[in-house]
Amino acid sequence: MSSQDSPQTTPNSDVRFGDYIGIDSWDYRIVPVWTDERAGGFNMDIYTAVIKLPKPAVVPVTVASGWNIVSVPVVPGDSLKTAIFPTAVSRAFGYQGSYFIADTLKNGRAYWLKFGSNETLHLPGDSLWFQTIPVNPDWNFIGSISSPVPVSAIASSPPGNIISRYFGYSAGYRAIDTVDPGDGCWVKASNYGQLVLSQAAANQPQVLAQAVAEGNRLGSLSELTISDASGSNQTLYFGFEGAGIDASRYEMPPVPPADVFDARFATQRMVELAGKNKSAGVPILVSGAKEPLSIGWRIRRTPATLLVEGKAIALDGDGSLNGVEPADKAGLRISLIISPAHIAGTPREFGLDQNYPNPFNPTTELRYQVPQESRVVLKIYDVLGQAVATILDRKDSPGVYTVQWDAGNLGGGVYFAQLTAENFVQTRKILLIK
């Protein structure tokens, strides 16, 4: 049967039921053809099963100046990185438990790649409408197909295997709702399995609605945005438990390669939630940044204090802090303390909280409360009762205070932090690890 015939054309009127005719190609389709003999005669109908072949395509992919997460959304004629992304100015970095250099790029996988300017690339190849991607326990670096796919349309086998949001990168990590052609993303799995990206599943109306709902869940939280001199930025979110948000699903992907901007809470998340009527303190880690930094905030009913190089800044409403640089070679020290309103206001009594982090090496933070103007002394003692450091000795007004202590000149071991004010004395056991 020749390719010049229509799939509906009978190739031979003498064929019988079960006779194999062959295949035809028609409009980029393979068409197997067979016959059906009707009872009482030899009238033949031709039945075809259509198998779609990929159509040649050119998919536009937009990249930004600097680092991008990219993937190959077509089946290319040449899989070399230099052929697919000829204007890239870096090696391609893939991920399989750790980063590796990739000279050949595979469908279904994502890669870090740096470009010298904003541009739109046009990637030629056969269309890719369906892709099955194997995943491992922990983080996976996955690619795209030739059409956008809402993450809620990505099928997982086994069901429930995905335990994180999907994260893309645009001058900082972002939780995404759609995997666009040419983009790549991170996702965490609990077990070995598969993900299936399909154009057909992506077009279901209910899937599109779910994607919109997924993107609106962080709107009730307060925001802290850290930006560097190159314009890269990362927004971190914080608030209190009970907002219907599972903070564990906002664990962030692995830290990018060395000179790629990244900022995150020390818990490795982009969302921190304090327990109701409890305060919580967490350091913020910044890497790959071009200094100086700026820190902006938008507070939504979440009293908080920002500690930058030992300086406490009460966060309220909208605001920002510019020109942030590390005080020494130890690197930039930033922490966030989330406090319920009754804790953030005037304290009812003296108190010394447990240091954070604990154990620590070599710096830690101590937070204390002063209900009335008083002389406050905070000292560190060793196990023999010898005073090894006086952190402060001063008069404080009513309020909540946080101080940072650097134990770099002391050996590792158990120490005791003691707060004395008026007739109040409280001691906390702390552990220095070296």
| 242 and 318 housed in the same domain | yes
Task: Tell me how far apart the alpha carbons of residues 70 and 80 are, in angstroms, rounded to a whole number.
Answer: 14
- Write out the H or E segment, with its range, that includes residue 205: helix 205-214
Range of the domain at 406: 351-432
The model carries a pTM of 0.69
Q: Average pLDDT of the chain? A: 84
Domain final residue, candidates 167, 183, 214: 214
| 340 and 386 housed in the same domain | no
Inform me whether the pLDDT recorded for 266 exceeds 50.
yes
Q: What is the pLDDT of residues 32-85, one digit of tens each?
A: 555 444 444 444 444 445 555 566 789 999 999 999 999 999 999 999 999 999
Q: Report the alpha-carbon angle 16-22-25, nearest 5.
A: 135
Q: Region 269-282: what's the mean pLDDT?
A: 83
Q: Token match 């030992």: residue?
A: 310
| 60 and 206 housed in the same domain | yes
Domain final residue, candidates 38, 53, 68: 53
Q: Region 98-127: what's the mean pLDDT?
A: 97
pLDDT of residue 15: 46
More confident residue, 371 or 33: 371
Q: Taking a C-beta distance cutoff of 8 angstroms, is the pair 199, 147 a contact?
A: yes
| 66 and 151 housed in the same domain | yes
Task: Tell me how far apart the alpha carbons of residues 359 and 407 are, in angstroms, rounded to a whole number.
Answer: 12
**Of the candidates 368, 393, 380, 390, which has an alpha carbon nearest to the alpha carbon of residue 431?**
380
Inform me whether the pLDDT recorded for 227 exceeds 80.
yes
Number of domains in the chain: 4
Segment among 95-99, 161-165, 339-343, 410-414 with least mean pLDDT: 339-343
Highest mean pLDDT among 86-90, 200-204, 321-325: 86-90
| 115 and 233 housed in the same domain | no
Q: What per-residue string of b and e applies to 291-313 under the rule 16 or more CB within 10 Å gives b?
A: eebebbbbbeebbbbbbbeeebe
Residue 108 pLDDT level (bands cut at 50, 70, 90): very high
Asked if omega into 371 is within 30° of 0 (cis), the reply is no
- Any idea what the CATH number is for the domain that residue 400 is in? 2.60.40.1930
Which residues are paired to 63 by β-bridges? 119
| 206 and 249 housed in the same domain | no
| 360 and 314 housed in the same domain | no
Segment among 34-43, 234-243, 388-397 with least mean pLDDT: 34-43
pLDDT of residue 113: 98
- The DSSP secondary structure of 348-377, one letter per residue, reads SS-EEPPPBSSSBSSEEEEEEEESSSEEEE
Q: Region 318-340: what's the mean pLDDT?
A: 82
Residue 330 pLDDT level (bands cut at 50, 70, 90): low
Furthest CA-CA distance within the chain = 110
